[in-house]
Amino acid sequence: MRKVVKKQVLLQGNEACVEGALMAGCRFYAGYPITPATEIMEIMAEKMPETGGVFIQMEDEIASLGAVIGASLAGMKSMTATSGPGFSLMQEHIGFAGMAEVPCVIVDVMRAGPSTGLPTQLSQGDVMQARWGTHGDHPIIVLAPSSVYEFFELTVQAFNLSERYRTPVILLVDEVVAHMREGVILPAKNSLEIEERPHPTVPPEWYIPYADPGTGVPPMPAFGDGYRYHVTGLYHDVRGYPTVRTDEVEPLIHRLFTKISKDFDRLQWFDAFETEDARVTVIAYGCVARAAHRAVRQAREKGLKVGLIKLKILWPFMRRTISGILANSQKVLVPELNVGQISREVKRVNESRCEVVTLNKVDGTPIKPAEILQKLGEIYS
Amino acid sequence: MRQTEHLVHKYLRSSKRFPHIWCAGCGIGIFMQALIRVIDQNEYSKDDIVLISGIGCSGRLPVYVDFNTLHTTHGRALTFATGIKLANPRLKVITVMGDGDAVAIGGNHFIHAARRNVEIASFVLNNSVYGMTGGQSSPTTPYGVITASAPYGNLEPDFDICRLAEAAGAVFVARATVYHTQLLDRLIDKALKKKGAAVVEVVSQCTTYAGHFLKLKSPVDMMKWQKNNSVTVEKAKQQSEAELEGKIVIGVLVDRERPSYHEQYQSLLAEKSKI
Ligand SMILES: Cc1ncc(C[n+]2csc(CCOP(=O)(O)OP(=O)(O)O)c2C)c(N)n1
Ligand code: SF4
Ligand SMILES: [Mg+2]
């Protein structure tokens, strides 16, 4: 149970993100200005020195994530925040952090793209980039809040997951959630579970940096702790040294995937509304889930048996949860502010069980409850 | 010789599979030995040293030595170095970069690391070529020569790494060659002790790829060329620009004082920190 000590405060989404980061123990922020994410940077510039942490404005987003990874290797929980164009630049180092297993948190407040796009209007266009933006096969964890409080909560969880699995974690946020203000009650600091990366328990002579301790996540010392080891973005053996041996390459990539996939059951984060008897289920995330929530309530008032699954985690895709929905509904509706990125995944796991209907908007404006309601009316039978 | 053997056992990683990847006669190993020698002379704790590289033949250096080592991405070693130094100012942070690494793809990071003046000792192994990818032109390839990517001759002028570092604000800038090992040791020593951004350009030979376009057949020829073409900073002061054309000016070029970024950040912390 959450112990409430503070009274309600009015926070902007980006402000709530900073509160979450501070509560999670973030002590290093490096970034480059870009709307609609800049508030996170500006608040961090003020707060980091107050908390004994480090803030630095870097020369670009590649440098920002490089500095974040460096600070994390030196033992600090670290993060950066950006929007589409900067997120594109960060892809190289997202891959590095994944390969070298360096915990870090990256916030992408999406704006309509491609390129400079529609600065800085609403979009959910980076869902696939967050999944596959960096080259090569790799796992990734991507969280998507749909309210100010959730932005706070999922920022804490982003740090927890990145520490637990030693992996980059991306918070994919839309402009509405980043900029709107809501009253929230922040939990007391010690009421939240804060996770730390596993540390080695053996003396340095016995430490083998990339050996699997059984959990898939090797313990990680900080540079300067006395455990001298090698970190590289090359495929490496258990000591961290570059290798091209197939019997070393394959186990590494396998472990990088399975350290997360073994916990897929723990990573089904969603909220369900009125889904038990739903004939049509809406699957949505971010600000679209808010519109969908209202549309579902209105449809219920009219007697339609419809429900909503609000996704809080986009990647790894919640196959188990979504399969359950697809098995129990006649139709699903996937409204999104892109040409159909999560709906592709829904169709992929659907295996023709039910009809998947999409509702897409890519003009920089929100999907309104009335539009979802109308669509529900059209497809309901 | 005995001294060297001893250093090899003390600083090279016994758990690393050798041989190393460098070609016979390459200059990178000479620099590696000099770096180890100076670190040993200064009795720095291995635990406090973080050695960071980018990508290229030079980028492979850290894996062989027993420090905290980090092999980053092409051109971006300084960004990681900045994060590490600010997160733990107690650490001695050293970067090793290639010429393409430091001033082509990493040029922007190079400029801003110098401007910011974070205490990082940087060594740019300038072999005038992209070694690792097979001999293409780099920003320090001489004008007119034929390279793998300039089959009709290089149309771009070459770039003075030290002048860039100076203009961008580095507080210590120097140049040596791998032929002048005693000077190299002295410059490494000064760079490691400098409180701020220090840059040493280390002119090195890529015998495999740069040798042919410089019309120098063997590693020995290349090192003789370094010897015969170098002019000390002191002598250079007495020479005209025409006389210095094509020469390598070696020695300390800039040594000045300016508050480093992390010193300033520490004062900010002392003032603002509420913990
Ligand atoms: C982003 C990116 N672009 C290109 C490459 C390919 N690449 C690897 S090393 C290298 C050039 C290396 O030249 P230099 O920095 O001078 O180092 P050297 O090998 O000469 O020591 C290039 C272009 C890469 N690894 N990453
Ligand atoms: S290619 Fe050139 S720079 Fe690379 S190891 Fe060989 S000689 Fe050295
Ligand atoms: Mg080179």
Question: How much is the pLDDT for A381?
Answer: 82
Contact between chains at B83 and A230 (C-beta distance less than 8 A): no
Residues of chain B with C-beta less than 8 angstroms from the C-beta of A60: 108
Question: How much is the pLDDT for B214?
Answer: 85
Q: Is B62 on the interface with A (CB under 8 A)?
A: yes
Tell me the DSSP string of A305-368: -EEEEEESEEES--HHHHHHHHHH-SEEEEEESSSSSHHHHHHHHHTTSSEEEEEE--SSSPPP
Measured CA to CA, the distance from residue B172 to residue B165 in angstroms comes to 9
| Chain segment A15-61, per-residue pLDDT in tens | 999 999 999 999 999 999 999 999 999 999 999 999 999 999 999 99
Residue % of chain A over a pLDDT of 90: 96
Q: Is B17 on the interface with A (CB under 8 A)?
A: yes
Query: Which of A54, A206, A241 has the highest number of chain B CBs within 10 A, making it the mutation to test binding with B?
Result: A54
Residue A4 has pLDDT above 80, yes or no: no
Contact between chains at B69 and A230 (C-beta distance less than 8 A): yes
| Chain segment A316-328, per-residue pLDDT in tens | 999 999 999 999 9
Residues of chain A with C-beta less than 8 angstroms from the C-beta of B90: 224
In the block, residue with structure tokens 């579902």: A296
Report, as an integer, the average pLDDT of A193-209: 97
Residues of chain A with C-beta less than 8 angstroms from the C-beta of B76: 62-63, 66, 92-93
Residue A6 confidence class, pLDDT cut points 50, 70, 90: low
Report the gap between the CA of A53 and the closest CA in chain B (Å): 8
CB pairs under 8 A between A and B: 145
Hey, whose CA ends up nearest to atom 22 of ligand 1?
A: B133
Residues of chain B with C-beta less than 8 angstroms from the C-beta of A233: 71-73
Residue % of chain A over a pLDDT of 70: 98
Domain boundary assignment for chain A: 8-191, 271-379
Residue B17 has pLDDT above 80, yes or no: no
Question: Considering CB atoms only, which of A52, A223, A230 is closest to B91?
Answer: A223
Report, as an integer, the average pLDDT of A62-66: 98
| Chain segment B233-252, per-residue pLDDT in tens | 999 999 999 999 999 999 99
Domain boundary assignment for chain B: 2-215+252-272
Question: How much is the pLDDT for A90?
Answer: 98
Helix (H) or strand (E) holding A180: none
What is the whole-number distance in angstroms between the Cα of residue B100 and the centre of ligand 1?
A: 6
Report the CATH superfamily, name and number, of domain B2-215+252-272: Thiamin diphosphate (ThDP)-binding fold, Pyr/PP domains (3.40.50.970)
Does the domain made of A271-379 have the CATH classification 3.40.50.920? Answer: yes
Residue A3 has pLDDT above 60, yes or no: no
Q: Is B266 on the interface with A (CB under 8 A)?
A: no
**pTM of the predicted model over 0.80:** yes
Question: How much is the pLDDT for B212?
Answer: 82
Tell me the DSSP string of B75-108: T-HHHHHHHHHHH-TTSEEEEEEEHHIIIIITHH
Question: Considering CB atoms only, which of B83, B88, B272 is closest to A66?
Answer: B83
Question: How much is the pLDDT for A5?
Answer: 56
| Chain segment A156-192, per-residue pLDDT in tens | 999 999 999 999 999 999 999 999 999 999 999 889 9
Contact between chains at A78 and B83 (C-beta distance less than 8 A): yes
Report, as an integer, the average pLDDT of B253-263: 96
Quick one: angle between helices B77-87 and B261-272, nearest 10? 40
Report the gap between the CA of A289 and the closest CA in chain B (Å): 37
Residue B3 has pLDDT above 70, yes or no: no
Measured CA to CA, the distance from residue A258 to residue A269 in angstroms comes to 19
Residue B15 confidence class, pLDDT cut points 50, 70, 90: confident
| Chain segment A282-311, per-residue pLDDT in tens | 999 999 999 999 999 999 999 999 999 999
Tell me the DSSP string of chain B: -HHHHHHHHHHB-TTS-SS-SPPTT-SHHHHHHHHHHHHHHTT--GGGEEEEE-SSTGGGGGGGBSSEEEE--TT-HHHHHHHHHHH-TTSEEEEEEEHHIIIIITHHHHHHHHHHT-S-EEEEEE-SSBTTTTSB--TTSPTT--BTTBTT---S----HHHHHHHHT-SEEEEEESS-HHHHHHHHHHHHH-SS-EEEEEE---TTTHHHHTT--SHHHHHHHHHHHEEEHHHHHTS-HHHHTT-EEEEEEEE-----HHHHHHHHHHHH---
Question: How much is the pLDDT for A174?
Answer: 98
What is the whole-number distance in angstroms between the Cα of residue B28 and the centre of ligand 1?
A: 15
Q: Ligand 2 in contact with B57 (CB < 6 A)?
A: yes
**Which ligand 1 atom minimizes the distance to the CA of B99?**
16
| Chain segment A138-161, per-residue pLDDT in tens | 999 999 999 999 999 999 999 999
Q: A29: which strand partners?
A: A55, A79
Tell me if residue A141 falls in helix, strand or coil.
strand
Q: What mean pLDDT is reported for chain A?
A: 96
Report, as an integer, the average pLDDT of A125-133: 98
Hey, whose CA ends up nearest to atom 5 of ligand 1?
A: B74
Residues of chain A with C-beta less than 8 angstroms from the C-beta of B81: 70
Does the domain made of A8-191 have the CATH classification 3.40.47.10? Answer: no
Q: Is A223 on the interface with B (CB under 8 A)?
A: yes
Q: Do domains A8-191 and A271-379 have the same CATH topology?
A: yes
Which pair of tokens denotes residue A168? 């980059």
| Chain segment B103-123, per-residue pLDDT in tens | 999 999 999 999 999 999 999
Residue A353 confidence class, pLDDT cut points 50, 70, 90: confident
Question: How much is the pLDDT for A197?
Answer: 97
Which pair of tokens denotes residue A140? 């990734």
Hey, whose CA ends up nearest to atom 1 of ligand 2?
A: B131
Residue A270 has pLDDT above 80, yes or no: yes
